[in-house]
């Protein structure tokens, strides 16, 4: 019935997964130049929009609200940078990343050292439904 058995070709998605390992290898170590660029294109507009919002208080509260809502996107981006600093993934130098995280923590109203510690606890138990940690979403299973 079966004359011969052919070796199964790897599925395309398996080959693609192996390719991703090579592609993502370029992003294992932080690039200080890229990090400085990302910080500049986030902090610059954030300060500009914050200043415009402050100025617009004398013009219209609705204008202030509109500018503030746009600036919220940059505040979220600042928190994302703070998050990456907490993981040591933003700058090659951990000390620089930690100090940047502390400064950003003032802007995001999130104390960096406390957040970093509790976030590490969260990562140590994430996915383990029997061990709920800080910052976990409680689910009923």
20 pLDDT tier (thresholds 50, 70, 90): confident
Whether 110 contacts 117, CB under 8 Å? no
| Selection from 127, 102, 132, 129 nearest residue 115 by Cα | 102
The confidence score (pLDDT) of residue 44 equals 98
Query: What's the pLDDT at 96?
Result: 96
Q: Is the pTM of this model over 0.85?
A: no
Tokens of 21: 């390992």
User: What's the pLDDT at 42?
Assistant: 98
Q: How far is CA 111 from CA 41, 53, 79, 104, 119, in A?
A: 23, 25, 11, 9, 12
Distance between CA atoms of 139 and 116, rounded to whole angstroms?
24
Q: Determine what percent of the chain is predicted with pLDDT higher than 90.
A: 58
Question: What are 69-96's pLDDT values in tens digits?
Answer: 999 999 999 999 999 999 999 999 999 9
The per-residue pLDDT for 118 is 87
pLDDT attached to residue 4: 59
DSSP 46-93: HHHHHHHHHHHTTT-HHHHHHHHHHHHHHHHHHHHHHHHHHTT-S-SS
Q: What is the pLDDT of residue 133?
A: 66
Token pair listed for 56: 């617009």
């Amino acid at each position: 019935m079966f004359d011969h058995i052919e070796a199964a070709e790897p599925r395309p998605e398996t080959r693609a997964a192996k390719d991703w390992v090579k592609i993502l290898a370029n992003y294992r170590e932080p690039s200080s130049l890229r990090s400085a660029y990302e910080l500049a294109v986030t902090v610059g507009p954030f300060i500009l929009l914050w200043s415009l919002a402050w100025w617009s208080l004398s013009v219209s509260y609705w204008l202030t609200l509109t500018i503030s809502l746009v600036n919220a996107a940059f505040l979220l981006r600042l928190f994302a940078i703070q998050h990456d600093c907490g993981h040591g993934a933003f700058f090659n130098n951990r000390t620089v990343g930690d100090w940047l995280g502390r400064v950003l923590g003032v802007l995001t109203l999130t104390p960096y050292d406390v957040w970093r510690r509790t976030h590490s606890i969260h990562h140590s138990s994430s996915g383990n439904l029997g061990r709920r940690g800080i910052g976990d979403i409680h689910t009923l299973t």
